[in-house]
């Protein structure tokens, strides 16, 4: 059986210091996170849970945008230590704890207004994604929102393994390679890169998981990509990805 939770925490314990940032630096800090944070609005006065919070980049931004309470959970001890260090630098009263997104037993039913999961599900199998989304529905208050981003499921099959972002899948396998783990890499604008992973799932897998969990409202979906503003900012960095679907951002209400 795929021991993905162990390999994920090893990967992130090893690389936690490379993720620490106080401003946008990696590709998806430009092509994904600003759009995801906008999808979370309005966040003023909300109780927020950030699943797979990493070193806290999105937790901090949600707190600065006025969330009254932010909890971050991550499976990697190294990432949680990095997040707590950032909290010492800038005290936002965010609480961070080591935990697994498939079991949120520390939270009661309906006690959270907004749950976010920014590039968490590419580390979870189909079954784990379903478990996690069931917990999300349980912990969200009625009318609460769930906002998450994933690598666009088609992206790995549309591009070779090259700068500045890839997942190294076999040439074909969109349907046959579900639940298989592939390595990937995403670059920063300073020329360094972050090693990432993908447990491949189809679009149908994600929408089935939402349905099984009990979400029954129409989600808002954005296919995120390189824009003319990105090109104007740094053409050599962003242009290799022009016109490709990079990420999906999804918001759904309970």
Ligand X SMILES: C[S@@+](CC[C@H](N)C(=O)[O-])C[C@H]1O[C@@H](n2cnc3c(N)ncnc32)[C@H](O)[C@@H]1O
Q: What are the residues binding ligand X (CB under 6 A)?
A: 5, 8, 12, 52-54, 57-58, 73-76, 79, 100-102, 118-120, 123-124, 196
Closest to ligand X by CB, 117 vs 231, is: 117
Closest to ligand X by CB, 101 vs 246, is: 101
- Classify 164 as helix, strand or coil: coil
Closest to ligand X by CB, 5 vs 141, is: 5
| Residue nearest ligand X (C-beta atom) | 54
CA distances from 38 to 41, 80, 85, 112 (A): 5, 24, 26, 19
Closest to ligand X by CB, 85 vs 231, is: 85
* CB 239, min distance to ligand X, A: 23
* CB 210, min distance to ligand X, A: 18
* CB 92, min distance to ligand X, A: 15
How long, in residues, is the chain?
254
* CB 29, min distance to ligand X, A: 8
Closest to ligand X by CB, 86 vs 102, is: 102
Q: How far apart are CA 68 and CA 63, in angstroms?
A: 7
Residue 113 DSSP symbol: E
Q: How far apart are CA 149 and CA 237, in angstroms?
A: 22
Q: How far apart are CA 9 and CA 230, in angstroms?
A: 32
Closest to ligand X by CB, 178 vs 231, is: 178
Both tokens assigned to 22: 């106080």
Q: How far apart are CA 136 and CA 115, in angstroms?
A: 7
* CB 5, min distance to ligand X, A: 5
Closest to ligand X by CB, 12 vs 165, is: 12
- Strands 165-167 and 95-98 come out as unpaired
CA dihedral 170, 174, 175, 178 (to 10 degrees): 70
Q: At what angle do helices 57-64 and 33-40 cross, to 10 degrees?
A: 40
Q: How far apart are CA 60 and CA 52, in angstroms?
A: 13
Both tokens assigned to 36: 């995801």
* Radius of gyration of the chain from its Cα atoms, rounded to whole angstroms: 17
């Amino acid at each position: 059986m795929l021991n993905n939770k162990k390999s994920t925490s090893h990967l992130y314990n090893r690389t936690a210091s490379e993720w620490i940032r106080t401003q946008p630096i990696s590709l998806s800090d430009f092509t994904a996170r600003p759009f995801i944070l906008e999808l979370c609005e309005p966040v003023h006065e909300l109780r927020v849970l950030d699943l797979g919070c990493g070193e806290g980049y999105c937790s901090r931004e949600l707190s600065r945008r006025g969330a009254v309470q932010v909890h971050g959970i991550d499976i990697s001890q190294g990432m949680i230590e990095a997040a707590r260090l950032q909290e010492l630098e800038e005290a936002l009263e965010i609480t961070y704890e080591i935990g697994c997104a498939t079991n949120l037993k520390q939270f009661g039913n309906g006690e959270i207004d907004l749950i976010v999961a920014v590039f968490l599900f590419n580390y979870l199998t189909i079954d784990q994604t379903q478990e996690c989304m069931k917990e999300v529905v349980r912990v969200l208050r009625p009318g609460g929102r769930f906002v998450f981003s994933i690598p666009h499921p088609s992206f790995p099959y549309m591009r070779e393994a090259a700068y500045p972002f890839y997942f190294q899948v076999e040439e074909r396998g969109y349907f046959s390679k579900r639940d298989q783990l592939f390595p990937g890499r995403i670059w920063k604008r300073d020329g360094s890169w972050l090693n990432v992973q993908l447990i491949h799932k189809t679009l149908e897998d994600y929408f089935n998981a939402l349905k099984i969990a009990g979400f029954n409202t129409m989600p808002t979906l954005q296919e995120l990509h390189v824009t003319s503003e990105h090109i104007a900012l740094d053409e050599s960095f962003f242009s290799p990805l022009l016109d490709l679907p990079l990420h999906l951002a999804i918001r759904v209400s309970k």
